[in-house]
Structure 1
């Protein structure tokens, strides 16, 4: 058996670590690299989007209505991640808009209960994703769009995690460490490579849409809680995903 070279060892560690951190997909035993695996997060999104795309293909074979196909695809993606990002979106909305000071906002975000802001955010953003995906299914362009949105929406998580400090000393974001800027930039490059490979230059507006929803979120998090948390990262993914689908639709 050919020994694994030194250059391959980080890759073989980072890939399963990325899947273990962001999904419920079983992985073989491996050393966990935490935030160092952030460069691979767009690949995780691509795989999740791939599973959903297969479901859309099956739905098309069964001639299911576009709305049912879109709902099933979104449900599958949430199941594969354990609702990680959806939970982050709801907690972020409750915390950033429901507290009067950073400590109270972080306390609200840690609470497992969902409030009115969180409910509204979850319903409206999911509805936006569903509406865009339904439109894409009707036009026959859903599969590449789904892959693009799933991949590029994971890049802002890496960048926000790299540029903002952890707002609390515990939690997923803090315990995973902080990726180097180079690691986050590699995630961005990988996400853009996948985006343009699947959608060509016509997919360029997707990048602008993702920036328009995630940059204000990052600035708000820095101003209102002093940094980022796992919930903020999850919210960035959900907003970027919905924005990307909307532009592609």
Structure 2
């Protein structure tokens, strides 16, 4: 049988990425492993689109006279709205599963329930507070640093999904989105995408992340590069620690775990970028 053309696989991968990781009106026409592999490799591109959309809304509010706190709330709310809270819901369910202290089968059943338990509520509140606090500080420093952090955190969140979908990471359930994408990305491809995204983020940090309005400080280009690259690497490291813990506890990854990884990576990136 003749293999499908490369551009066709890329198109199906893009559709898979945007159709599963956002509410954008993209029809997913293929659900096989090849489409899932392409989708997970394209996941950071979804972060670029969602992050740019969030930054534009935040900057519009600043232009209209709003303060950095309101801009920060908008920057955190837009990605949640454009994913229907998918990752936040996954974070809450993962927290409930881990916090239950029950065996893997019972914890997975808790995660699958539609309601949110106390561990999930506490985790959501703390994570959203951390995101808004970091973004408020960054938008207060300068519009450029705020916008950069909004986009970088959204991209880092989706890059964490690319790495989590690498070969060798099992699925905890035989069904669901987690099972569809678990282990589909070759390790070399995941590492290559991570290096490329980190390099692009560092370059953006050199251009946009160097001026602090509040303190009247202009950071050097090297500082901007290091700060942004460190934010991405720290986000991936934190997500990796959570992934390994979930794999030990649940026997593998689930769609909820993927959501938890995305929010953990995004929050870590924002915290690092907000540090002086």
Q: Give me the TM-score of the superposition, normalised by structure 1.
A: 0.92
Please list every run of 5 or more consecutive structure 1 residues that lacks an aligned counterpart in the other structure.
none
Residue 183 of structure 1, CA deviation: 4.0
Greater alpha carbon shift after TM alignment, 28-37 vs 7-16: 28-37
Q: Which residue of 2 aligns with 1:231?
A: 256
Q: Which residue of 2 aligns with 1:119?
A: 121
Q: Which residue of 2 aligns with 1:197?
A: 203
Residue 26 of structure 1, CA deviation: 0.4
Please list every run of 5 or more consecutive structure 2 residues that lacks an aligned counterpart in the other structure.
207-224
Give the aligned length.
245
Q: Which residue of 1 aligns with 2:239?
A: 214
Q: How does 1:45-84 map to 2 (within 5 A)?
A: 45-84=47-86
Is this contact kept in 2: 1:67–1:134, CA < 8 A? yes
Provide the rounded CA distance (Å) in 1 between the counterparts of 2:138 and 2:238: 21
Provide the rounded CA distance (Å) in 1 between the counterparts of 2:64 and 2:26: 32
Q: 1:95 to 1:237 in 2, by over 3 A?
A: same
1:169 partnered with 2:174: yes
Q: How does 1:120-159 map to 2 (within 5 A)?
A: 120-140=122-142, 141-159=145-163
| CA deviation map 1:64-83 (0-9, x unaligned) | 12111111221111110111
Is this contact kept in 1: 2:40–2:165, CA < 8 A? no
| CA deviation map 1:165-213 (0-9, x unaligned) | 0001111111345322244334323422331231142222213421442
Provide the rounded CA distance (Å) in 2 between the counterparts of 1:99 and 1:35: 33
Q: Give me the TM-score of the superposition, normalised by structure 2.
A: 0.83
Q: Which residue of 2 aligns with 1:10?
A: 9
Is this contact kept in 2: 1:218–1:228, CA < 8 A? yes
Which portions of structure 1, spanning 4 or more consecutive aligned residues, are displaced by more than 6 angstroms? none
Q: Partner of 1:154: helix, strand, or coil? A: helix
Larger relative contact order (Cα-Cα within 8 Å, sequence gap ≥ 6) = 1
